[in-house]
Structure 1
Amino acid sequence: MASSSTVSFQIAGTQWTRQENEKFEEALVVYERDTPDRWQNLARFVGGNKSAEDVKRYYELLLDDIIAIESGEVPCPVYTSSNSRGGMTKEEHG
């Protein structure tokens, strides 16, 4: 099984690990909108050789996703619970 840092995905031509994504989310809290050199600081915080342009593009894509979800373009998943513990039944699992 892969560790959380080795699971990766590609966003706008740049590979991101789960760990980098978590660091990005932390950095957004630390470096608020009005922070001077925000994108450079975010890139430094995230690490992984991410450039200021990489983190800015990633941020913009996430904003686009939020807008699409909130406007109803992308439906939110519906989760149902089939048993008392919230897991799938044997029949549902297949």
Structure 2
Amino acid sequence: MASSSMSSSRTSESSWTSRQNKLFEEALARYDEATPDRWQKVAEAVGDKSTEEVKRHYELLIKDINRIESGRVP
């Protein structure tokens, strides 16, 4: 079951281009957690993604980081 959820995560992740990921990372650095309307600003910086899409992308990023830090990903 976990592998099917990983597959669906990876499928949705593949819809982000390397350019969009770079813009996303730059926007996260620019707009910290205290920024009003942070996700709207991040979405605007990325361009072709909605506020919900950037929030979901961030959640997946945090999950990946947690898996790496816990040693579950080599």
Same fold (TM over 0.5): yes
Greater C-alpha Rg: 1
Q: Once superposed, what is the RMSD of the aligned Cα atoms?
A: 1.4
Relative to its length, the structure with more strand (as a share) is: 1
Aligned sequence identity (%) = 56
* 3-state secondary structure, aligned to 1:39: helix
- Give unmatched runs, 5+ long, in structure 2: 1-10
- Could you tell me which residue of structure 2 aligns to residue 47 of structure 1? 47
For normalisation by structure 1, the TM-score amounts to: 0.64
> 1:12-56 CA distances to partner (integer Å, 9 max, x unpaired)?
xx71111000000000111011101101000000002x0000000
* 3-state secondary structure, aligned to 1:16: coil
For normalisation by structure 2, the TM-score amounts to: 0.81
- Give unmatched runs, 5+ long, in structure 1: 1-8, 76-94
Task: Report the number of matched residues.
Answer: 64
